[in-house]
């Protein structure tokens, strides 16, 4: 199979679909790889490293999309990229279709086989390809929040860790999954007072054990969100419903009651955001202020630490990518976890949560993924 790796074109996106080490794995499995010129140069992966690994360098994304049997990316394809995709071609990348009707419609027209990193599962019902980026984003959320709490950056002038004689800042984390756990690790490390809200009692028990009582674990209700958000210096939105748009858990009314200069970090923004006032921002222009509360809603947070993110992502995506290269769509029929990654095929939506959000609006049909591939 010919694997194509274009350079990412989204604002301040320096990650790349394959590292030179990953390219070498594909080549060892008998595949050819083409990489766009200087696709990974910004994070220290040179053309020479790719050619040494066995890839060929091509000058334009158009050539990659035209020639490749499988496109491996990081971010969802932009409109001009969607238009270059075709039926029979595999797209393997983050998609986040539920809050993005434009991309969904264009992928439907392209007819390609679109596999989303964020909906592939494992035998523990986890999301193994999303997990590394969730780890990165969770850890970054506290760095970002601490930065924007500084007075010069619009915050209240609060040091999360406090100092002897001054109480630490209060961090509220809504969601106790991978993002929330990693945010808590960083917040505890800074010396903050940390509260995690979640709707799963078994998960709250796990978190209580993991952090040995160093965080407050609270069952998530409307009342709990209202109470703890009022007191918080930093709120991290860390909720996820696989494949679907994120629920709006922090309302405009909640935000009006928050302390002036407090900071919101919405890690769920890729899935539409979990705060009512959230709107996607970029690393170039990351924050805005509503009701005296600083909002940080960067839609590709891990792109800010692109080298670490690329290596971590490749560690997770590589086994599934090799399986797709070796067996084509048959790999999904042999692996139910990889099959759950199939979001669109030949113009039809193959992931139920996406169809529930967008199917009627776009006039796109749903088809069971196994039936779609066998049809």
Gap between the Cα atoms of 232 and 142, Å rounded: 13
Tokens 């590292």 correspond to 19
- SS3 of residue 327 by DSSP: helix
Q: Is 291 a catalytic residue?
A: no
Residue 179 burial by Cβ neighbours in a 10 Å radius (0-12, 13-18, 19+):
buried
Which of 278, 227, 234, 237 minimizes the C-alpha distance to 257? Answer: 227
Residues in Cβ contact with 114 at an 8 Å cutoff, skipping those fewer than 6 apart: 91, 95, 107, 342, 343, 344, 345
State the Cα–Cα distance between residues 39 and 46, nearest whole angstrom.
Answer: 8
State the number of CA atoms in the 13 A half-sphere of 243 facing the CB. Answer: 21
Concatenated DSSP letters of 14-61: ---S--HHHHHHHHHTT-EEEEETTTTGGGT--HHHHHHHT-EEES-H
- Catalytic option among 31, 96, 295, 355: 96
Question: If residue 5 lies in a helix (H) or strand (E), which one and from where to where?
Answer: strand 2-5
Q: State the chain's maximal CA–CA distance in angstroms.
A: 69
Residue with tokens 């994304």: 61
Burial of 163 (0-12, 13-18, 19+ CB in 10 A): exposed
Q: Which of 100, 233, 270, 357 is catalytic?
A: 270
Burial status of residue 253 (CB atoms within 10 A of its CB: 0-12, 13-18, 19 or more): exposed
The C-alpha atoms of residue 119 and residue 175 are separated, in whole angstroms, by 18
What's the helix, strand, coil split of the chain in %, to 5? 40, 20, 40
What DSSP line would sit under 96-139, residue for residue?
A: --TT-HHHHHHHHHHT-EEEEGGG---TTS--TTTHHHHHHHHH
295 is catalytic: no
Distances (CA, A) of 340 to 94, 326, 371: 13, 18, 13
Residues annotated as catalytic (active site), given as ranges: 96, 270
């Amino acid at each position: 199979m010919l694997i194509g790796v274009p350079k990412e074109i989204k604002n301040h996106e320096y990650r790349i679909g394959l590292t030179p080490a990953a390219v070498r794995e594909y080549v060892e499995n008998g595949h050819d790889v083409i990489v766009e010129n200087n696709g990974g140069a910004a994070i220290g992966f040179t053309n020479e490293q790719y050619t040494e690994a066995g890839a060929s360098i091509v000058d334009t994304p158009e050539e990659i999309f035209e020639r490749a049997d499988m496109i491996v990316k990081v971010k969802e394809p932009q409109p001009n990229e969607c238009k270059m995709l075709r039926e029979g071609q595999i797209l393997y990348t983050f998609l986040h279709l539920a809050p993005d009707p434009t991309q969904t419609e264009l992928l439907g027209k392209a007819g390609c086989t679109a596999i989303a990193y964020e909906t592939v599962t494992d035998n523990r019902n986890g999301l193994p390809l999303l997990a590394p980026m969730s780890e990165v984003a969770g850890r970054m959320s506290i760095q970002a929040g601490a930065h924007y709490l500084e007075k010069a950056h619009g915050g209240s002038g609060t040091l999360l860790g406090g100092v002897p004689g001054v109480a630490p800042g209060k961090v509220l984390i809504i969601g106790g999954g991978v993002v929330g756990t990693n945010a808590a690790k960083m917040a505890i490390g800074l010396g903050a007072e940390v509260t995690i809200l979640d709707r799963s009692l078994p998960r709250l028990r796990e978190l209580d054990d993991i952090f040995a009582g160093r965080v407050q674990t609270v069952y998530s209700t409307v009342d709990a969100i209202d109470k703890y958000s009022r007191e918080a210096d930093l709120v991290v939105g860390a909720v996820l419903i696989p494949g679907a748009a994120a629920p709006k858990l922090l309302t405009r009314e909640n935000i009006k009651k928050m302390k002036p200069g407090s900071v919101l970090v919405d890690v769920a923004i890729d899935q539409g955001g979990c705060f009512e006032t959230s709107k996607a921002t970029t690393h170039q222009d990351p924050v805005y202020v509503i009701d005296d509360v600083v909002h940080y809603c960067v839609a590709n947070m891990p792109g800010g630490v692109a080298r670490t993110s690329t290596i971590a992502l490749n560690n997770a995506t590589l086994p599934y990518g090799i399986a797709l290269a070796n067996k084509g769509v048959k790999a999904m029929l042999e692996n139910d976890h990889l099959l759950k990654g199939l979001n669109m095929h030949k113009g039809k939506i193959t992931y139920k949560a996406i169809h529930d959000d967008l199917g009627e609006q776009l006039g796109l049909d749903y088809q069971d993924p196994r039936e779609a591939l066998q049809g």
